Amino acid sequence: MTTPDDKDRRLGRFRVDPDHGSRLTTDQGIPVDDTDNSLRVGERGPTLMEDFHFREKLTHFDHERIPERVVHARGTGAYGYFEVTDPLTEYTSAEFLRDTSLRTPVFVRFSTVAGSRGSADTVRDVRGFATKFYTRQGNFDLVGNNMPVFFIQDGIKFPDFVHAVKPEPHNEIPQASSAHDTLWDFVHLQPETTHMMMWLMSDRALPRSFRMMQGFGVHTFRLVDEEGAGTFVKFHWKPRLGTHSLVWDETQKIAGKDPDFNRRDLWEAIEAGQYPEWELGVQLVPEEREHAFDFDLLDATKIIPEEEVPVRPVGRLVLDRNPDNFFAETEQVAFHLGNVVPGIDFTNDPLLQARLFSYLDTQLIRLGGPNFTQLPVNRPVAEVRNHQRDGYHQSAIHTGRAAYHPNSLSGGCPAVVPEGAFTHYQERVDGNKIRKRSESFADHYSQATLFWNSMSDWEKEHIIAAFRFELGKVEHRHIRQGVVANLNNVDHYLAVSVAEGVGVEPPAQPATPNHGRSSPALSQANAPRDSVETRKIAILVADGVDTGDVQTIREALSAVGAIPEVLAARDGEAEGSEGPVEVTRALPTVGSVLYDAVVVPGGKESVTALEADGSAVQFVTEAFKHGKAIGAVGDGIRLLSSARLNGVNDRGEALTADQGVVLQSASGVTGEFIEQFVVAVAAHRHTNRDLAPVPA
| Chain contacts with ligand HDD (rule: CB under 6 A) | 69-72, 75, 109, 111, 128, 130, 143-145, 150, 155, 158, 218-219, 300, 333, 335, 351, 354-355, 358-359, 362
Least Cβ distance, residue 141 to ligand HDD (angstroms): 9
Point out the catalytic residue in the list 53, 139, 145, 488.
145
Least Cβ distance, residue 287 to ligand HDD (angstroms): 22
Least Cβ distance, residue 146 to ligand HDD (angstroms): 9
Is residue 180 among the annotated active site residues?
no
Of 71 and 494, nearer to ligand HDD (C-beta) is 71
Element (H, E) at 640: helix 637-642
Least Cβ distance, residue 354 to ligand HDD (angstroms): 4
Of 112 and 621, nearer to ligand HDD (C-beta) is 112
Of 75 and 281, nearer to ligand HDD (C-beta) is 75
Least Cβ distance, residue 120 to ligand HDD (angstroms): 17
Least Cβ distance, residue 122 to ligand HDD (angstroms): 18
Of 70 and 560, nearer to ligand HDD (C-beta) is 70
SS3 510: coil
Of 219 and 554, nearer to ligand HDD (C-beta) is 219
Of 71 and 662, nearer to ligand HDD (C-beta) is 71
- The C-alpha atoms of residue 184 and residue 421 are separated, in whole angstroms, by 46
- The C-alpha atoms of residue 627 and residue 157 are separated, in whole angstroms, by 39
Other C-beta atoms lying within 10 Å of the C-beta of residue 613: 18
- Find out whether 611 and 636 touch, Cβ atoms under 8 Å: no
Alpha helices in 258-386 (DSSP H): 261-271, 350-366
- Any residues with CB less than 8 A from the CB of 67 and at least 6 apart, and which? 365, 366
Q: Pairing relation of β-strands 312-321 and 277-286? A: antiparallel
Output the CA–CA distances (angstroms, integers) from residue 325 to 16, 46, 315, 330, 333, in the order listed.
10, 37, 29, 8, 12
Angle between helices 457-472 and 477-487 (to 10 degrees): 160
- The one-character DSSP state at 43 is T
Whether residue 174 has a cis bond before it, omega within 30° of 0: yes
Please state the separation of Cα 375 from the chain's center in Å. 24
Residue number of the CB atom closest to ligand HDD? 128
Is residue 407 among the annotated active site residues?
no
Of 447 and 552, nearer to ligand HDD (C-beta) is 447
Alpha helices in 542-613 (DSSP H): 547-559, 604-611
Angle between helices 457-472 and 492-502 (to 10 degrees): 40
User: Across the strands, what pairs with 75?
Assistant: 111
- Any residues with CB less than 8 A from the CB of 107 and at least 6 apart, and which? 7, 77, 78, 79, 80, 131, 132, 134, 329, 333, 377
- The C-alpha atoms of residue 108 and residue 122 are separated, in whole angstroms, by 19
Least Cβ distance, residue 3 to ligand HDD (angstroms): 24
Annotated catalytic residues are 72, 145
